[in-house]
Amino acid sequence: MAVAGPVDEMKAEVHKKEGKTLPYRWTKVGESGSPAFILFLHGAGERGDDNKAQLKHGVGDLLKWIGANNESAVVLAPQCNRDVWWADLKGDFRAPKGGNLAEKPSAMMTMVFETVDRLVKEQKVDPERIYVTGLSMGGFGSFAAVARRPEFFAAAMPVCGGGDPKTATAMKKVPFWVFHGAADSVVPLKASSLMVGALKEAGATVKFREYPGVGHDSWTATYRDPEVWKWLFSQKKAK
């Protein structure tokens, strides 16, 4: 079984469409003929076009865990363009009813899905073990990705994000583990708690970890916890 190397050894490629570009890094760890798949969505501070900044948080922890636990997985880390977002959420996500997901996905999310679909097919990914996680802007992106494709993902782990509670019913078959710092002044805890409440009301399987006294950086503790990855890789899509 291959051991995960450093994140800067991940393959660097670019997806182009209609004048737009989506830089991304990806790698396959392990020798399984049917690996799991993890879509990793970075935060707003890592936007750009250097095809490197998106690897700053969490990806290294993920690769380390995969290698140490003899798992096999394809990991995709796309990089969002500057001044745009993964989730096409309208309105104030801090409002009592949360934000409103636009009718169609953003250009960035559309290109992400196209890249995901290609890699899933080429790498013969296990269709029952396709996951998404992300931090901050990527936490919003994680909720939005599942809302767009509720039959596609086996589980999701949004970190300090938020979404549109009205999408919860569509996502009720997908297990969620949500994380947020109680003292987060950038994305208030309420953004996650609204989604957790809506998902539970819809009948979804939801876990919620609140970090007392922690600010916006709830991703470091989350992604460095081996139990988090163990939970994610144990999830299989409901038949």
Looking at residue 5, its pLDDT comes to 54
Mean pLDDT of 108-124: 97
Domain assignment of residue 92, given as a range: 7-234
Domain total of the chain? 1
Residues 145, 77, 87, CA angle at the centre, nearest 5°? 30
Residues 189, 216: contact at Cβ < 8 Å?
no
Closest CA to 158 of 194, 183, 113: 194
Q: What is the domain-level CATH number for residue 174?
A: 3.40.50.1820
38 three-state secondary structure: strand
Please, which residues have CB within 8 angstroms of residue 190's CB and are 6 or more apart in sequence? 94
Q: What pLDDT, in 10s, does the model give residues 22-35?
A: 999 999 998 888 99
**Exposure class string for 65-101: b at 16+ Cβ within 10 A, else e:** bbbeeebbbbbbbbbbbeeebbbbbeeebeeeebbbb
Residues of the chain with pLDDT > 70, as a percent, come to 95
Looking at residue 54, its pLDDT comes to 97
Q: What pLDDT, in 10s, does the model give residues 9-25?
A: 899 999 999 889 999 99
Q: What pLDDT, in 10s, does the model give residues 43-80?
A: 999 999 999 999 999 999 999 999 999 999 999 999 99
Whether residue 4 is predicted with pLDDT greater than 60 in this model: the reply is no
Note whether residue 170 is domain-resident: yes
What's 204's DSSP letter? -
Residues 176, 166: contact at Cβ < 8 Å?
no
Q: What pLDDT, in 10s, does the model give residues 129-175?
A: 999 999 999 999 999 999 999 999 999 999 999 999 999 999 999 99
Q: At what angle do helices 137-148 and 107-122 cross, to 10 degrees?
A: 70
Residue type at position 140:
F
